[in-house]
Structures are given as structure tokens and as C-alpha cells.
Structure 1
Amino acid sequence: MKLLVIYTYPNHKSLNYAFLQKVIKGSNENPNIKELQILDLYEENFNPLLVFNEQKRRRDMHTDPHIEKYRQQIKWADKIVFIYPIWWGRPPAMLLGYIDQLFASNFAYQDQKGLLPKGLLKGKSVICISTMKGPTHYPFLWLKNAHKMLMKRALFNFVGIKKVKFFEFGNMESPKGKQMKKLEKIDTYFQRLHH
């Protein structure tokens, strides 16, 4: 199994970074995970801004040479792990900018007759590890599950990825947030991951 981990947080002295370290540790102790790549979007200085003009057309985004290496990473991976905070009920703009560019027509999906396109990323799976200041059930109860709907239905299912696992960790700025327990949960999960 080949794992691509996409980390989106601007600070390495953070809880999000601690989750990244646990993903790496657990994966390195798992014989089922043969290869691991880490993409740190902030460290990479990834440019999340979309630019469309006479030279750069939206319909050509799937062949844009500036993001070819990121397309190759997605093609290479069996499983993609996203680590990010939930801000205003959704992932950070940096990650959404990556998604806007990488999950493009004729790379991630292909338009066809009917309601839904043909997903071109079938066979891959996704794990989303997200942190938030508010309580764990806030996105579900107050926002009607908007975060999961956005990531699973509007994005991953649309491009053919049916298997999506969520870890939504709330109260992460509270002294009673059980941060160590949640970090250990991620470590153990990745040690035991088998498909």
C-alpha cells in the first residue's frame, strides 16, 4: 500500500503537526504500508490561487505543467490522507486551492451523459483527519454535517473515491480535549491499517 499524506497547517509546533507525526510513526510500523510520501502545502509554498486567462484556460488545467508533480503523487497513491483544521466549518483555503487545481476535469473526472461524471480516481481511498476548536458534534448538529458532505459527496464520490474515513477531533484547544488519547488513536489506526 502506498500512502500520500497531505498536511495543511502553517505551524509545525501544533497539534496538527503532532497528528502528522503519529501518522508517520504508525505507518512506519505497519508492514502493509510499503511507501509513504508527505506533502506539506505550506512548506511547499503551494500557490492556491486559480488563474484563468488567454494563456491559462480552465479546460487545460489537467495538463498544467506547474502542478504535474502533484498529479503524479495522486496517481501513485493507493490511499490519500488529509490532515487539516476545520475553520468556519470547512478546510483551510490552502487545501481548497489545492483541490480546485488538482481535482480537475479529465484528470479526476470526465463529463458524460447523465447526472454524474465518470470518476477517474476509482480504486483509491481517503482518510480525513481534522481538528477544531468547537465540540466534536458541532459540524453534525449545527452545520448539518456540512464538512463531511462537502468532502465525501461533493468531492471524493464525484471523482470515483467511495471509501472515505473521517476523524473529526473537537475541543482541541481545551485542556480537557483528551489530545494525547486522540493522538494515540491515530498512531494505533495507522499501525493496523491493512487496505
Structure 2
Amino acid sequence: MNVLIIYTHPHHNSLNGAFFKEILKGSEENPNVQEVRIIDLYQDKFDPVLIFNEEKKRRDMHKDPEIQEYQEKIKWADNIVFVYPIWWGRPPAMLLGFIDRMFAANFAYRQTGGLLPEGLLKGKRAVCVSTMQGPTHYPFFFLQNAHKVLMKRALLQYVGIKPVKFFEFGMMESPKGKHDVKLKRIYNYFRNISS
């Protein structure tokens, strides 16, 4: 199994950085994992702004040379792991901009004339590891599960990636956030994941 970690946080010495390290450690110690690769969007200074105009046609987005290295990593991966904070009830604009640019027609999906397109990233799985300041169940009760609906249904399953597993950790700025327990849970999951 090839694991691609997409890290989206501006600071490595953070709780998201700690989760990233546990994912990496668990994956590297997992006998089912052949190789781990990383995309660090802030470190890469990735430009999340989607542009198409007279010079950059929308139909040619999948051929953009600026994103070919990222496309190759996504094609290579069996399991794609997204690590990010939840800000304002959704992932950071950096990650959403990455998806805007990466999930282009004829790379991530193909129109078939039917109600839904053909997902071209079938056979891949995803895990979303996210942190938030508020309570864990806040998105479910107050935001009608908007974060999971966005990531799972509107984005990942649309291009054929499934299943999608979520770890949403709340109260992460509180001393009662049980950080060590949550970090160990993530390490154990990635140490033992088999597909």
C-alpha cells in the first residue's frame, strides 16, 4: 500500500503537526505500507488560486505543468491522508484551493453525459484527520455535518475516492482535550491499517 499524506497547516510545531508525525510514524512502522510520500502545501508555497482565462483554458486544467508533480503523487497513492484544521466549519482555503486545481476534468473525473460523471480516481481510499477548537460534535449538531458532506460526498466520492474515513478531534485548544489519547489513537490506526 502506498500512502500519500497531504498536510495543510502553516505551522509544524502545532497539534496538526503532532498528528502528522504520528501518522507518518505509524505508517512507516506498518508492514502493509510499502512507501509514504508527503505533500506539505504551506511548505511548498502551493498557489491555491484557480485561474482560467483566454490563456489558460478550463478544459486544459488537467495539463497544467504547475500541478503535474502533485498529480503523479495522487495517481501513485492507494491511500490519501488529509491532515488539516477545521476553520469556520470547513477545511482551510489552501486545501480547498488545492482540490480546485487538482480535481480537474480528465484527471479526477470525466463527463459521461449522465447525471454524475465517471470518477477517475477509483480504487483509492481517503482518511481525513482534522482538529477544531470547539466540541467534537459541534459540526454535526450546529452545522448539519457540513464538513463531512463537503469532503466525502461533494469532493472525494465525486471523483471515485471511497471509502472516506474521518477523525474529527474537538476541544483541541483545551487542556482537557485528551491530546495524548487522540495522538495514540491515530498512531495505532495507521500502524495497523491494512488497506
Q: CA deviation at 1:113?
A: 1.9
1:143 corresponds in structure 2 to 143
CA RMSD of aligned residues (A): 0.6
1:160-179 to 2 correspondence within 5 Å?
160-179=160-179
* AA at the equivalent of 1:28: E
Q: CA deviation at 1:59?
A: 1.1
* AA at the equivalent of 2:34: K
Q: How many residues align?
A: 195
Q: CA deviation at 1:162?
A: 2.1
Structure 1 position 104 matched with structure 2 position 107: no
SS of the residue 2:11 aligns to: coil
2:65 corresponds in structure 1 to 65
Structure 1 position 131 matched with structure 2 position 149: no
Give every structure 1 segment of 4 or more consecutive aligned residues whose post-TM-superposition deviation is greater than 6 Å.
Answer: none
* AA at the equivalent of 1:46: F
- 1:91-121 alpha-carbon deviations (Å, 9 max, x no partner): 0000001000001111000011221100000
Give the distance between the partners of 1:159 and 1:121, measured in 2 at CA. Answer: 6
Instruction: State the identity as a percent.
Output: 64
1:20-169 to 2 correspondence within 5 Å?
20-169=20-169
Give the distance between the partners of 1:29 and 1:52, measured in 2 at CA. Answer: 42
Give the distance between the partners of 1:194 and 1:75, measured in 2 at CA. Answer: 19
Q: List alignment gaps of at least 5 residues for structure 1.
A: none
Give the distance between the partners of 1:32 and 1:43, measured in 2 at CA. Answer: 28
SS of the residue 2:43 aligns to: coil
Q: CA deviation at 1:52?
A: 1.5
* AA at the equivalent of 1:50: L
SS of the residue 2:150 aligns to: helix
Q: CA deviation at 1:89?
A: 0.6
1:190 corresponds in structure 2 to 190
Give the distance between the partners of 2:184 and 2:165, measured in 1 at CA. Answer: 17
Q: CA deviation at 1:164?
A: 0.4
* AA at the equivalent of 1:179: H
Give the distance between the partners of 2:162 and 2:29, measured in 1 at CA. Answer: 26
Q: CA deviation at 1:42?
A: 0.3
Give the distance between the partners of 1:50 and 1:116, measured in 2 at CA. Answer: 23
* TM-score w.r.t. length of structure 2: 0.99
Give the distance between the partners of 2:142 and 2:91, measured in 1 at CA. Answer: 17
Give the distance between the partners of 1:162 and 1:16, measured in 2 at CA. Answer: 23
* AA at the equivalent of 1:152: K
* AA at the equivalent of 2:151: M
- 1:136-173 alpha-carbon deviations (Å, 9 max, x no partner): 00000000000000001001111011210000000000
Q: CA deviation at 1:71?
A: 0.4
